[in-house]
């Protein structure tokens, strides 16, 4: 396990007072470590969990050549480019059981979707494309090629091959694929435990009476939702005031119970020293000023208690800054801790409907709304006021316009990158 100093030494140009967004993710990727304990779960309980081993298919899917259509199966070598093909049906094949007869030249088999293709037959004509004359059917010329509308044995999954890979999150489609193989349980990494609390005497919990200078705690609820979206077990410690004793007790409890700790508030320059002082006392922590907007102040490191340690993410206090720093930095780090090896979701490209002012030298995350233009292309506009305390902008937007570190002003019509919210928040 590397110390903060050792990780910093590995990063070229590391400057905790002017850290780029890319350097933050690079640092965190070196700081966090995946969980190592696994458990077996039935499929109904495994949604969004991370596979701890490959799922090897015990069967081929499909288990035999079968029809992709309701229609007529025949030997495709009989097709002619210069004229129609007339065939006589000799039976009907239904899904769920093999047809026992034989089909000779000039003959075909009425077949239902999913039914096994008898030996010697490799092509299916959909029933709506044939002309019926008495007992015979006629297939128009140049309609089909040999092999059309046939599903091949194992074309989805081959017996003995990995159907799902270790490190992938189990989506609804993945659960269905596992079920199609007859697999009732999967081995997954244990659920990550993350403790969260807000800090500051100015923070009110819901139910408390309003008082001058105080604000209700929204960050607990946004962070709770973001963690739940990841399938994480959330340990909610509420609001901890500016008391060294209470802060120390809460940090020690969190370090003893959780894999990671997230706090909001108390890490900015000029704020009361209690939170930062306690982080320093209990662990190996770095305090950053990140070249980004919104956000900037952040603390990261490890806190120790009862012979174990927990990764610390100390986020700023402003509501939007909390969500942006979580999405940009904490979420990827937590996925790594969960054992997830899937590539991050790609950023979308959309044309800006507005001119955006931007100075190179920092990354900006502006709340935006992506929509389809009349020509079908993607376009994006901001949600208006981009203040770090305007939480309604995160509700009105459906993504973050990402203006990268070296990027300058954006003109109307320029393409920009967008980190979409769908499935994330």
**pLDDT tens digit sequence for 283-333:** 999 999 999 999 999 999 999 988 889 999 999 989 999 999 999 999 999
pTM score above 0.85: yes
Beta strands in 247-307 (DSSP E): 260-264, 283-289, 292-293, 297-305
Q: 307 lies in a domain? A: yes
Looking at every residue in the chain, the average pLDDT score rounds to 94
Q: 22 lies in a domain? A: yes
Check whether residue 204 and residue 300 sit in a common domain.
yes
Of the ranges 67-71, 269-273, 366-370, which one carries the lowest mean pLDDT score? 269-273
Check whether residue 206 and residue 292 sit in a common domain.
yes
Environment class of residue 260 by beta-carbon count within 10 Å: exposed (0-12), middle (13-18) or buried (19+)? buried
Check whether residue 164 and residue 296 sit in a common domain.
no
Where is the domain boundary, 316, 337, 358?
A: 337
Proportion of the chain in helix, strand, coil states, percent, rounded to 5 = 20, 35, 45
Please state, as a whole number, how many other Cβ atoms lie within 10 Å of the Cβ of residue 37: 8
Specify the CATH number for the domain of residue 87. Answer: 2.170.190.11
pLDDT band at residue 200 using 50, 70 and 90 as cut-offs: confident
What is the helix (H) or strand (E) element at residue 138, kind and residue range?
strand 136-139
Check whether residue 225 and residue 325 sit in a common domain.
yes
Residue 138 in this model has a pLDDT that exceeds 60: yes
Cα(245)–Cα(304) distance, rounded to whole angstroms? Answer: 16
Q: On the CB side of 28, how many CA atoms lie within 13 Å of its CA?
A: 28
Cα(220)–Cα(317) distance, rounded to whole angstroms? Answer: 11
Check whether residue 207 and residue 233 sit in a common domain.
yes
pLDDT band at residue 204 using 50, 70 and 90 as cut-offs: confident
Q: How many residues does the chain have?
A: 425
Total domain count for the chain? Answer: 4
Where is the domain boundary, 286, 302, 337?
A: 337
Q: 343 lies in a domain? A: no
Where is the domain boundary, 124, 151, 178?
A: 151
Nearest alpha carbon to residue 388 among 299, 261, 306, 290: 290
Q: 319 lies in a domain? A: yes
Check whether residue 94 and residue 177 sit in a common domain.
no
Environment class of residue 357 by beta-carbon count within 10 Å: exposed (0-12), middle (13-18) or buried (19+)? exposed
The per-residue pLDDT for 80 is 87
How far is residue 170 CA from its own chain's centroid? 10
Nearest alpha carbon to residue 187 among 333, 288, 41: 41
Average pLDDT over residues 265-272: 67
Check whether residue 323 and residue 354 sit in a common domain.
no
The per-residue pLDDT for 377 is 96
Check whether residue 217 and residue 320 sit in a common domain.
yes
The per-residue pLDDT for 61 is 92
Cα(148)–Cα(123) distance, rounded to whole angstroms? Answer: 5
Check whether residue 385 and residue 328 sit in a common domain.
no
Cα(424)–Cα(394) distance, rounded to whole angstroms? Answer: 12
Q: Which residues of 154-188 are buried (b: 16+ CB within 10 A; e: fewer)?
A: beebeeeeebbebbbbbeeebbebbeebebeebbb
Check whether residue 160 and residue 301 sit in a common domain.
no
Cα(401)–Cα(157) distance, rounded to whole angstroms? Answer: 39
Higher pLDDT, 87 or 97: 87
Q: 425 lies in a domain? A: no
Check whether residue 15 and residue 85 sit in a common domain.
no
The per-residue pLDDT for 425 is 63
Check whether residue 181 and residue 279 sit in a common domain.
no
Cα(388)–Cα(292) distance, rounded to whole angstroms? Answer: 12
Q: 76 lies in a domain? A: yes
Give residue 360's domain range: 348-420
The per-residue pLDDT for 195 is 98
Specify the CATH number for the domain of residue 183. Answer: 3.90.105.10
pLDDT band at residue 214 using 50, 70 and 90 as cut-offs: confident
Specify the CATH number for the domain of residue 227. Answer: 3.40.980.10
């Amino acid at each position: 396990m590397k110390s903060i100093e050792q990780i910093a030494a590995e990063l070229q140009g590391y400057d905790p007072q002017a850290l780029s967004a890319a350097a933050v993710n690079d640092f965190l990727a070196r700081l966090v470590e995946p969980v190592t304990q696994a458990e077996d779960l039935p499929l109904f309980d495994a949604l969004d969990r991370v596979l701890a081993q490959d799922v090897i298919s015990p069967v081929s899917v499909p288990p035999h050549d079968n029809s992709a259509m309701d229609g007529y199966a025949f030997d495709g070598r009989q097709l002619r480019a210069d004229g129609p093909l007339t065939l006589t049906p000799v039976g009907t094949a239904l899904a769920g059981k093999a047809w026992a007869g034989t089909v000779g030249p000039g003959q075909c088999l009425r077949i239902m979707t999913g039914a096994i293709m008898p030996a010697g037959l490799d092509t299916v004509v959909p029933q709506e494309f044939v002309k019926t004359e008495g007992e015979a059917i006629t297939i128009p010329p140049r309609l089909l090629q040999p092999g059309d509308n046939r599903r091949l044995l194992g074309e989805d999954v081959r017996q003995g091959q990995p159907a799902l890979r270790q490190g992938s999150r189990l989506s609804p489609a993945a659960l269905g694929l596992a079920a199609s193989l007859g697999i009732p349980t999967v081995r997954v990494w244990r659920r990550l435990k993350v403790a969260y609390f807000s800090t500051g005497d100015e923070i009110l919990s819901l139910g408390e009476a309003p008082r001058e200078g105080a604000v209700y705690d929204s960050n607990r609820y946004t962070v709770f939702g973001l963690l739940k979206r990841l399938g994480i077990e959330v340990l909610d410690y509420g609001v901890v005031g500016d008391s060294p004793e209470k802060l120390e007790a809460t940090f020690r409890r969190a370090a003893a119970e959780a894999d990671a700790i997230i706090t909001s508030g108390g890490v900015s320059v000029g704020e009361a020293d209690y939170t930062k002082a306690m982080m320093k006392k209990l662990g190996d922590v770095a305090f950053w000023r990140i070249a980004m907007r919104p956000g900037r102040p952040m603390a990261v490191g490890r806190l120790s208690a009862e012979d174990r340690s927990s990764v610390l993410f100390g986020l700023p206090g402003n509501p939007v800054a909390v969500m942006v720093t979580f999405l940009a930095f904490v979420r990827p780090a937590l996925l790594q801790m969960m054992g997830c090896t899937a590539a991050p979701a790609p950023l979308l490209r959309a044309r800006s409907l507005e001119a955006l002012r931007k100075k190179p030298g920092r990354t900006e995350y502006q709340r935006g709304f992506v929509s389809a233009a009349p020509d079908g292309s993607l376009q994006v506009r901001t949600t208006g006021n981009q203040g770090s305390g305007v939480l309604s902008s995160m509700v009105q937007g459906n993504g973050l316009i990402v203006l990268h570190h070296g990027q300058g002003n954006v003109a109307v019509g320029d393409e920009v990158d967008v980190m979409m919210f769908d499935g994330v928040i």
